[in-house]
Amino acid sequence: MLQVVKCADRTCCSAPRSSYFSLIRDRFIPGPLPLEQSEEYGLRVNIGDGPNVKFPSLFVRLVIDKDMFPRSAANYEKELPYDFACPNLQKTLRQRVCKDCKIYHASVKSLNSHKRICSVKPDRPLADDPDIRVRPVRVAAKRHRELMCAIMYMDDEEYEWLDQDDVNTVDIPGAHEMTVQSGTPVIPANTLANPWEEISN
């Protein structure tokens, strides 16, 4: 979920008109957590299915801290990732955490854009460094200035559309010869038939 929230700098954002920041003190709505009351561990996060798994309301979720779940939060120094309870992202969560500031990013593109700022050092200017660009296994498709990249995480491949400038395509077979795929095909009006005419015939 994309969350766009005003900052505290009044030269950038206007003053809030609601009590949102009084309720959501961390500015962003926390990610959903499926909770289960177990006899062995007490209250715990259960990403799998189960008859006792419940998603708490937003206000209950706001008082839940990651310290309540030391086993689940052992790999994350800051807040649990927003996608922590998403089953099909379990293998990629730790790969999307910035190694310097420990902030989680929902996509590889976001993480690499962040790295360009987070990894800048006084003796090294901000530049197109191939080390901070995504290195795909292969490029599956191309459209305009975007590439559909196959990225290897653990033992699985994940596909994601990335800006051409964010991808290191050196020595990637076929990446430069691939033709641009157009978007939605345009169907000429004279080729369209009214469905009710077909029914009546």
pLDDT at 17: 92
For residues 144 and 182, what is the distance between their CA atoms, to the nearest angstrom?
8
Q: Where are the domains of the chain?
A: 14-69
Q: Please tell me which residue, 187 or 104, carries the higher pLDDT value.
A: 104
Q: Say how many CA atoms lie within 13 Å of 19 toward its Cβ.
A: 2
What's the pLDDT tens digit per position in 59-101? 888 888 877 777 777 778 877 888 888 887 887 888 888 888 8
For residues 35 and 61, what is the distance between their CA atoms, to the nearest angstrom?
10
For residues 145 and 198, what is the distance between their CA atoms, to the nearest angstrom?
41
Q: Please tell me which residue, 12 or 150, carries the higher pLDDT value.
A: 12
| 73: region left, alpha or beta (phi > 0 left; psi from -120 to 50 alpha) | alpha
pLDDT at 180: 58
pLDDT of 36 over the 80 cut: yes
Angle at 153 between CA 152 and CA 155, to 5 degrees: 85
Lowest-pLDDT range of 39-43, 134-138, 164-168, 178-182: 178-182
Mean pLDDT of the chain: 75
pLDDT at 14: 92
pLDDT at 81: 86
What's the pLDDT tens digit per position in 111-163? 877 877 776 554 444 444 445 577 787 888 888 778 888 876 556 677 777 87
* Residue 95 near residue 155 (C-beta atoms within 8 A): no
